[in-house]
Amino acid sequence: MTAADCFWLAPALDALRTAHRAGRSGHALLIHADPGCGGEVLANWVAQLHLCRRDRPPCGECADCRHCATGQHPDLFAVAPTGDSRQIRVEDVRAFSAELALTSHGGGHRVGIVSPADALNVMAANALLKTLEEPPPRTLIVLVSASPSRLPATIRSRCMRLRVSAPGRAASLEWLAGRGKEGDLAAAADVLGDAPLALLEADIAGIARVRTESELALGEVERGRTDPAQLAERWSRDDYGLRLACIEAWLTARIRLSATAPTGNIAAQFGLLDALRELRREIDAPLNKSVALERWLWRLAGADDKRAGEAPAQRGG
């Protein structure tokens, strides 16, 4: 997938070309892209824009562009979480910065991509800040983030900002259908959001299966026919992120219905939605997912905080 294939990136491409021709690219760019909307695709295109040596870059055909597309260009560097870690570590940023400080192989720019930038831990962010404060000449650092608010303000303030939003639902589904994607794409978009690239790679039938199973189980929890502890333990080990997305889609649909045909305590439903979104924000945090989800399910079942807190002890006895 290239940036040219993603119609919703066209305004960003035009803006970046104009800035590059005018010599206003700066030394750091922060791409704020919704998940599944091509932030990394755009970052790679920016690398081609700066490393292609044709008259009207990026041509997409020369050796520089091809090497950028495969991540093999000698003047292109990237840093991301490695191994089982979900964080970008300080030693990785230091190595990244050291590479950017070397002389360019092609005699031109050097480009570094940090993605997802909000995965930088505190020490890594401080190390990157030093490079942003004193960047090597003819160097561009591109940060890609779906949640730039998680980045230190000192890093954000040193970057040009570019916002990339998801296209509208109808346009997104038409684009997917044009690429042969089949199934209930609208229902999948309710779960994953209007994220064309995420939907393009998704198992549409699998999402429908998990959503149906999840909604049936949630109804059983509300009726007191399912043990939240056992359900939370199973779900925490089985497509946890997708489960949370399916639950949010289910709860959001209920809230919308309540706006026209009251079906319960709307304030309580919004409280459940806020708590669920907090679980999704902390999905990469080192917490006990089973316990966190269990507490949410007890809350859905109408249990008070005391019962939710005592449930693990009662099971242990």
Domain count, the chain: 2
How do strand 110-114 and strand 139-145 relate by DSSP bridges?
parallel
Task: Give tens-digit pLDDT for 275-303.
Answer: 999 999 888 777 899 999 999 999 999 84
CB atoms within 10 A of CB 109: 18
Domain-embedded: residue 173: no
User: Residue 12 contacts by C-beta under 8 Å, 6 or more apart in sequence?
Assistant: 42, 162, 164
Task: Give tens-digit pLDDT for 216-256.
Answer: 999 999 999 999 999 999 999 988 999 999 999 999 999 98
SS3 151: coil
Distance CA 167, CA 252 (A): 20
Domain-embedded: residue 171: no
* Tokens standing for residue 164: 């990339």
The beta-carbon contacts of 200-204 under 8 Å, at least 24 apart in sequence, are 200/1, 200/176
Give the domain extent around 230: 203-312
Q: What phi, psi does 203 have (nearest 5°)?
A: -85, 95
Helices 305-316 and 228-236 sit at what angle, rounded to 10 degrees?
80
Q: Which of 165, 193, 223 is the last residue of a domain?
A: 165
Q: Which of 137, 159, 276 is nearest to 218 (CA)?
A: 276
Residue 315 has pLDDT above 80, yes or no: no
How much is the pTM? 0.86
Mean model confidence pLDDT for the chain: 91
Domain-embedded: residue 267: yes
